[in-house]
Amino acid sequence: MVRWTGGVPGSGARALAAVVAGALPALTFPEPSLWWLAYGALVPWMLLLRTAPTGRRAVVEGWLGGLGFMVAVHHWLIPSLHVFTVVLAALLALLWAPWGWLVRALLGDPAGGPRAALAALVAVPCGWLMIELVRSWQGLGGPWGLLGAGQWQVAPALRLASVGGVWLVSLAVVAVNTAVTAVIALPRARVPVCGALGVCALAATVVAVAAPRPEESGRVRVALVQPGVLDGHDGAERRFARAEELTRGLAGRDLDLVVWGESSVGADLGRRPDLARRLAALSRAVGAELLVNVDARRPGPGGGIHKSAVLVGPAGPTGDRYDKMRLVPFGEYVPARGLLGWATSVGRAAAEDRLRGTRPVVLTLADGLRVGPLVCFESAFPDMTRRLAAEGARLVVVQSATSTFQRSWAPEQHASLAALRAAESGRPVAHATLTGVSTAYGPDGRRRGPVLATSASGAAVYELPLARGTTAYLRYGDWAVYGAFGALVALGAAAGVRRLSRGR
């Protein structure tokens, strides 16, 4: 009988195939949003890995596929970092090298039986999740392009996210890809693999139905102000004036909060009392507090530049502020500047490091509503929204600016992350930007209200349901990550015991 092996002739052709196959999952994220592709996007790469002639070759092709993946999901950084984007991607892609070996070890034998296939069904997704966990560390770039994030508009996936976070969604997506690969490549294992996948799907359905859901409790009316792209000099002043004009048009809309995007105010309000007075006048005109974002140097000795969410009421700044804690590598600071400072000469890396905040802050509005602010990149981190919700935030607000990447896939992808954060936390999330995409999501992760695209300059009002109670992810946190690590340890220990018993 002839069996399909998926081999690609020649090491050069295999290398190119690995890079292209690794890049395929990027199409599942916005802007393309081919979410359905995620459930087969890894199959070509995995079929290639399992046919690698040696374990060393599988390691190389794992690294090359990781390189393709990282460049594809971060391609929008190339205009800013140029060749440094590829250098960073090549370093982070090393995380996929052992995963390539793992795929070959478990799926590489065409005569492999059910035991190897079922072990792969557990180990391969868990191995992928460990890669996502490591590269999610802020110093390595943060959790951008997690595979599960491509399912942000799929209701069952959002329900899974409420149980185990985006991590559980990634596990499910990779498990399906592993099962498809095993069905194609291991004829003897088709029935048990399909049976195991069916059991997992049934278990996931039961858990999703039985898991706690926050109960709707009240409504909040939030306006998001998006000045849009403004040409010419004095950008900060013109941006402020445009946001001021748009906000004034919101008078009489019965609002609870008006949100401006990241870096919407380009001067410290203590140094510019005229700006503080203009903001206070706007608050009085619309009958709601304003949450603006100040990107400026603070007064005082040694004062550096912070990005701060600042609450402004009818009498002026209330004194409540949140300083951004997790900064964008190279965009807002240069890691190990003494070693990597040369990056500023080949791209638009930060000439001066921004300063970090020290703790999350939950702001309390005049009507008692508690709001948890995040600034831009921070919405990619599941733990930050979870912590704000645990500390009492009933609404999460993200202030963002992606104008540097206006004509790329980045604005749409960034806005989609708010859907996952809403589903995980069971809290509505509003995502306000300077130049798009601005939108909002309910506590179930479903989009509520209009979308202000990158071509828009305007303001939109969102009536969002508030929710009380908890989700399983709020209650138990990153249990999917710990479970995946434990499963890998158990499988490794079992393999070690079998090897020892054979050697006796």
Q: What is the DSSP string of 192-258?
A: HHHHHHHHHHHHHHHHHHHS--PEEEEEEEEEEEE-----SS-HHHHHHHHHHHHHHTTTTS--SEE
Q: Is the pLDDT of residue 211 over 50?
A: yes
* Residues of the chain above pLDDT 90, percent: 73
Average pLDDT, the chain: 91
380 in Cβ contact with 143 (< 8 Å): yes
Better-scored residue on pLDDT, 300 or 266: 266
Do 135 and 224 share a domain, yes or no? no
**Residue written as token pair 């960034």:** 414
**Residue written as token pair 């590598």:** 329
CA distance 396 to 417: 13
Residue 87 has a CB neighbour count (10 Å cut-off) of 12
Do 271 and 311 share a domain, yes or no? yes
Which contacts of 90-93 are long-range, i.e. CB under 8 A and separated by 24 or more positions? 92/66, 92/135, 92/140, 92/141, 93/63, 93/64, 93/65, 93/66, 93/67, 93/69
Name the nearest CA neighbour of 289 among 313, 316, 255.
313
Q: Is the pLDDT of residue 478 over 50?
A: yes
Structural domain includes residue 65: yes
Do 69 and 188 share a domain, yes or no? yes
Q: What is the SS3 assignment for 53?
A: coil
Chain centroid, CA 367 distance in Å? 31
Q: What is the SS3 assignment for 320?
A: strand
Do 126 and 29 share a domain, yes or no? yes
Structural domain includes residue 331: no
Q: What is the pLDDT of residues 337-352, one digit of tens each?
A: 766 666 666 667 677 7
> Using CA of residue 117, residue 118, residue 123, residue 124, what is the dihedral sign?
positive
User: Which DSSP string corresponds to 139-190?
Assistant: GGT-STT-GGGGGTT-HHHHHHHHHHHHHHHHHHHHHHHHHHHHHHH-GGGH
* Total-model pTM: 0.93
**Range(s) of the domain holding residue 297:** 216-325+360-470
Structural domain includes residue 412: yes
Six-digit token string for 192: 């048990």
Q: Which helix (H) or strand (E) holds 306?
A: strand 305-313
Q: Which helix (H) or strand (E) holds 466?
A: strand 458-468
Structural domain includes residue 433: yes
Do 270 and 228 share a domain, yes or no? yes
Banded pLDDT at 235 (limits 50, 70, 90): confident
Q: What is the pLDDT of residues 364-377, one digit of tens each?
A: 999 999 999 999 99
Q: What is the pLDDT of residues 122-168, one digit of tens each?
A: 999 999 999 999 999 988 889 999 999 999 999 999 999 999 999 99
Q: What is the pLDDT of residues 239-290, one digit of tens each?
A: 999 999 999 999 999 999 999 999 999 999 999 999 999 999 999 999 999 9
Do 220 and 252 share a domain, yes or no? yes
* Residues of the chain above pLDDT 70, percent: 94
Q: Is the pLDDT of residue 9 over 60?
A: no
Do 385 and 437 share a domain, yes or no? yes
Do 204 and 243 share a domain, yes or no? no
Q: Calculate mean pLDDT across residues 302-307.
A: 81
Do 173 and 68 share a domain, yes or no? yes
420 in Cβ contact with 368 (< 8 Å): no
Banded pLDDT at 334 (limits 50, 70, 90): confident
Structural domain includes residue 347: no
Banded pLDDT at 4 (limits 50, 70, 90): very low
Banded pLDDT at 107 (limits 50, 70, 90): very high
Residues with Cβ within 8 Å of residue 239, at least 6 apart in sequence:
227, 230, 264, 266, 434
CA count, 13 A, side-chain hemisphere, 29? 27
Do 177 and 241 share a domain, yes or no? no
pLDDT of residue 336: 67
Total domain count, the chain = 2
Structural domain includes residue 75: yes
Name the nearest CA neighbour of 243 among 90, 102, 474, 432.
432
Structural domain includes residue 434: yes
CA distance 227 to 244: 9
Do 288 and 157 share a domain, yes or no? no
Do 366 and 276 share a domain, yes or no? yes
Structural domain includes residue 351: no
Q: What is the pLDDT of residues 424-474, one digit of tens each?
A: 999 999 999 999 899 999 999 999 999 999 999 999 999 999 999 999 999
Q: What is the CATH number of the domain that holds 376?
A: 3.60.110.10
Q: Calculate mean pLDDT across residues 50-69.
A: 96
